[in-house]
Chain A
């Protein structure tokens, strides 16, 4: 496949965050990699290239399957930064090395994250998922990296107009109460693909 065949769709969340949906898988295996610094990006060509975009002040790159989430500090608009991200994605897919290296087994915070993962998983099983199930939804705990929880929403939550309320006022609030060591929650859901959202936006 040539890089011209790779389709990338940008979905800005706000001026600081943007999701890029890619027609090809960037990080296989169902896992997720989060890079919070240039140092962490070393060894993963995609993350290295995105952190190197001039003037973007990239703060975070999260890769899961065919989804790349980029967080930047620069006020530069996404049309400018997004095109550079697209080039980075195409170059990484065309390269000889995997676009994203496997998660290091001996990461410095791995044991902390593993412990957090277990506690967050318990909370999801005990509280979060029974709650969202009442609206036909479910929330999958993808990973915990550097105390940041990554989730993917499904069912009635995927594409729901109130998904952000559920995420911030529900899930994040519960995490603060029960697992206060968690530093943040990142939603890697492809909400545009949600076929059965519980609340669909209908008003101008």
Chain B
């Protein structure tokens, strides 16, 4: 299990492995203080270097055989592919996982395969933004090639906004330490109007099984693209849902992805679906808490987490059911309060948790933590979960619960 130390997902994956009775090795980029005490269960890998990581994993596997490998985010998905290739384990090729991670390479392959994507171009950070703005079409979106969680993604409607956004994305990339060759660029693409959807899927032999399709009921029209509410099942028509699934399947094939979880972001408008992002990893943050599998029918199991499904798939273990539970479910990524600041206190958590249908309120930011709003920020201060009979009821519960919360912030 490749768990970078900055992940939100350690608890969910570790607990899933424990429930499955799987003997787990956790690999991170920084050593655990228990590594010498538990050399079979803890490993340090160079997650920034594919060949080195694969070699380290091979050396490790000589003493502690590995049966499967799972990456949990964009970067570790590529490392997992390298390790899978090195050890002959179930997984994607490095080329496919790498293409999914790089927004430019991804769009190039998708466009070549006829998958609907916005018109795009890659520009170097030291290009003249005023010159680029003259040739851009508007509205457009400027975005880093690799950063996650819509960090550094900015819409521009005019040449003036383009120049300002260009400088801001550049600073964000420099602050993020993106000095690699392929990160000295940014992507500029047409803004695609329409509603946005998130598809969670599992690949087996290149075939996509849709696990859930989430509506994003809040408009994501910019200028920044901080996420808020996800609700499933989707309220789109069945035809539209089928078109989205077909679009995602086409994208998967275009990139050459074949195994494991995928998370796709798509827009849908009068011209049909548009593939905005495809990642070879499960849904991010704590959002997987909105998903449970098994309908409770005989043989289908009940209550399996997404992480259990991912681990079972990686190990070739039987999966009782990939049917999501019958009720509607949703999660709200709590927005960073306007202006940001240092978190002093969160008020109203109990009141939010007491809202009917709300299942949990998880504040993941800690007191004293600096919260930066988008586009510089990328960390939600918490998550709200709700389940109910209908997507509309779930969405309403999430909004009501959010309305109960009050963030007390100090100066950064």
Chain A positions within 8 Å of B, measured between CB atoms, are 7-16, 18, 23, 75, 77-79, 82, 86, 127, 131-132, 134-135, 159, 161-166, 168-171, 173-174, 177, 192-197, 199-204
Instruction: Please determine whether A192 and B363 come into contact, CB atoms closer than 8 angstroms.
Output: yes
**Could you say which of A7, A8, A132, A164 contacts B10, with CB atoms under 8 Å apart?**
A164
* Also in contact, A202 and B285, with CB within 8 A (given A12-B359, A164-B11): no
Measured in the bound complex, the distance between the Cα atoms of B181 and A165 in whole Å is 33
**Could you say which of A79, A170, A202, A204 contacts B37, with CB atoms under 8 Å apart?**
A170
Contact string against A for B residues 308-328, beta-carbon threshold 8 Å, 1 for contact and 0 otherwise: 000000000000000000010
* Also in contact, A195 and B5, with CB within 8 A (given A131-B34, A170-B34, A202-B378): no
Measured in the bound complex, the distance between the Cα atoms of B349 and A11 in whole Å is 10
Tell me the nearest residue of chain A to B379, going by C-beta. Answer: A202
Measured in the bound complex, the distance between the Cα atoms of B74 and A204 in whole Å is 10
**Could you say which of A18, A78, A135 contacts B33, with CB atoms under 8 Å apart?**
A135
Measured in the bound complex, the distance between the Cα atoms of B8 and A199 in whole Å is 10
Instruction: Please determine whether A134 and B33 come into contact, CB atoms closer than 8 angstroms.
Output: yes
Instruction: Please determine whether B24 and A169 come into contact, CB atoms closer than 8 angstroms.
Output: yes
Chain B residues, Cβ within 8 Å of A9? 349-350, 353, 361
Instruction: Please determine whether B350 and A165 come into contact, CB atoms closer than 8 angstroms.
Output: no
CB distance from A56 to the nearest CB of B (A): 13
Instruction: Please determine whether B34 and A196 come into contact, CB atoms closer than 8 angstroms.
Output: no
Which of B12-20, B44-52, B58-66, B248-256 lies at the binding interface? B12-20
Contact string against A for B residues 337-367, beta-carbon threshold 8 Å, 1 for contact and 0 otherwise: 0000000000001110110111111111011
Instruction: Please determine whether A201 and B6 come into contact, CB atoms closer than 8 angstroms.
Output: yes
Chain B residues, Cβ within 8 Å of A8? 350, 353-354
Instruction: Please determine whether A79 and B11 come into contact, CB atoms closer than 8 angstroms.
Output: no
Instruction: Please determine whether B149 and A131 come into contact, CB atoms closer than 8 angstroms.
Output: no
**Interface residue? B386 (CB, 8 A):** yes
Measured in the bound complex, the distance between the Cα atoms of B368 and A14 in whole Å is 27
**Interface residue? B73 (CB, 8 A):** yes
Instruction: Please determine whether A14 and B327 come into contact, CB atoms closer than 8 angstroms.
Output: no
Residue in A159, A195, A199, A203 with the greatest tally of chain B CB atoms within 10 Å: A203
Can you list 16 A-B pairs, Cβ within 8 angstroms, ordered by A? A9-B361, A13-B15, A14-B16, A23-B350, A75-B296, A79-B387, A131-B33, A166-B33, A169-B14, A169-B42, A170-B32, A177-B37, A193-B367, A202-B378, A203-B4, A203-B8
**Could you say which of A15, A166, A171, A195 contacts B303, with CB atoms under 8 Å apart?**
A15
Chain B positions within 8 Å of A, measured between CB atoms, are 3-8, 10-12, 14-16, 18-19, 24, 26, 28, 32-34, 37-38, 41-42, 73, 148-149, 284-285, 289, 292, 294, 296, 302-303, 305, 327, 349-351, 353-354, 356-364, 366-369, 378-380, 385-387
Instruction: Please determine whether A173 and B10 come into contact, CB atoms closer than 8 angstroms.
Output: no
CB distance from A59 to the nearest CB of B (A): 13
A-B pairs, 9 with minimum CB distance: A170-B34, A204-B149, A204-B284, A7-B350, A75-B302, A173-B38, A201-B8, A75-B303, A164-B11
Tell me the nearest residue of chain B to A137, going by C-beta. Answer: B33
Instruction: Please determine whether A201 and B379 come into contact, CB atoms closer than 8 angstroms.
Output: yes
Instruction: Please determine whether A173 and B34 come into contact, CB atoms closer than 8 angstroms.
Output: yes
Measured in the bound complex, the distance between the Cα atoms of B39 and A174 in whole Å is 11
Other A-B pairs, 20, CB within 8 Å; known A12-B359, A166-B32: A9-B361, A14-B15, A14-B16, A14-B305, A16-B19, A18-B360, A77-B387, A79-B359, A127-B37, A131-B34, A162-B10, A164-B11, A165-B28, A165-B32, A168-B18, A174-B34, A201-B364, A203-B6, A204-B73, A204-B149
CB distance from B58 to the nearest CB of A (A): 21
Tell me the nearest residue of chain A to B285, going by C-beta. Answer: A204
Measured in the bound complex, the distance between the Cα atoms of B73 and A202 in whole Å is 12
Measured in the bound complex, the distance between the Cα atoms of B289 and A159 in whole Å is 18
Chain A residues, Cβ within 8 Å of B3? 162, 165
**Could you say which of B34, B149, B303, B349 contacts A169, with CB atoms under 8 Å apart?**
B34
Chain A residues, Cβ within 8 Å of B357? 79
Measured in the bound complex, the distance between the Cα atoms of B3 and A195 in whole Å is 22
Tell me the nearest residue of chain B to A12, going by C-beta. Answer: B360
Instruction: Please determine whether B24 and A203 come into contact, CB atoms closer than 8 angstroms.
Output: no
CB distance from A73 to the nearest CB of B (A): 10
Measured in the bound complex, the distance between the Cα atoms of B379 and A8 in whole Å is 26
Chain B residues, Cβ within 8 Å of A196? 366, 368
CB distance from A24 to the nearest CB of B (A): 12
Measured in the bound complex, the distance between the Cα atoms of B387 and A172 in whole Å is 33
Instruction: Please determine whether B303 and A161 come into contact, CB atoms closer than 8 angstroms.
Output: no
Tell me the nearest residue of chain B to A7, going by C-beta. Answer: B350
Instruction: Please determine whether A199 and B5 come into contact, CB atoms closer than 8 angstroms.
Output: yes
Chain B residues, Cβ within 8 Å of A161? 5-8, 10
Instruction: Please determine whether B148 and A204 come into contact, CB atoms closer than 8 angstroms.
Output: yes
Chain B residues, Cβ within 8 Å of A134? 33
Chain A residues, Cβ within 8 Å of B360? 10-12, 18, 78
Chain A residues, Cβ within 8 Å of B363? 192
